C-alpha cells in the first residue's frame, strides 16, 4: 500500500502563488509515478499534472500549463506542485496520487490517493 499525504493548501488571492507538497510512504518512492488531481465543488475530479519515476516525463492539463509546475525530490519521498498566477477557478480540493505502473496517460486516475488539501483563490 502507498499512502500519499498532502500539505500546503490555503487561501490565496488571485494572481498569487502556492506550493503543495505530498509525501508518500509504503513503497519505494522512486518507483512511483506521482500526480495531482483536483475537484471543485459540484464538479468531477480532474487531472492536473503528473510526473514519472525520476522526473523525465511530465504532463499537465491545458488549464494549468504555463502556470503550474510539478517536481519531485526522491531523496525526500516528496512531490511538489508549484502553482503560480492562481485564478479563482483553481479553487478546489487538490489530491496527490501515486501509481506503480510505468508512465502512461493518467487522466483517468491513479492507484493510490491522498485525502486532499483545500486551495481557495479569492478574486
pLDDT digit string, tens, across residues 57-72 = 999 999 999 999 999 9
What confidence score (pLDDT) does residue 119 get? 98
Q: What is the DSSP track for 13-59?
A: ETT--EEEEEEEESS-GGG-EEEEEEE-TTS--EEEEEE-TTSS-EE
- Chunked mean pLDDT (size 10), the chain, 123 residues: 95 98 89 96 96 94 98 96 98 97 91 97 96
- Cα angle: 90, vertex 106, 120; to 5 degrees: 15
Task: Give the cell for residue 103.
Answer: 508512465
Amino acid at each position: 500500500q502507498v499512502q500519499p499525504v498532502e500539505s500546503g493548501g490555503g487561501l490565496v488571492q488571485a494572481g498569487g502563488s502556492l506550493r503543495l507538497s505530498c509525501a508518500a510512504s509504503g513503497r519505494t518512492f522512486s518507483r512511483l509515478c506521482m500526480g495531482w488531481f483536483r475537484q471543485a465543488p459540484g464538479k468531477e475530479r480532474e487531472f492536473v499534472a503528473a510526473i514519472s519515476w525520476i522526473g523525465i516525463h511530465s504532463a499537465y492539463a491545458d488549464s494549468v500549463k504555463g502556470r503550474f509546475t510539478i517536481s519531485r525530490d526522491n531523496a525526500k519521498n516528496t512531490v511538489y506542485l508549484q502553482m503560480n498566477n492562481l485564478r479563482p477557478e483553481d479553487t478546489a480540493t487538490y489530491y496527490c496520487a501515486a501509481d506503480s505502473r510505468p508512465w502512461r496517460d493518467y487522466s483517468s486516475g491513479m492507484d493510490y490517493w491522498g485525502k486532499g488539501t483545500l486551495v481557495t483563490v479569492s478574486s
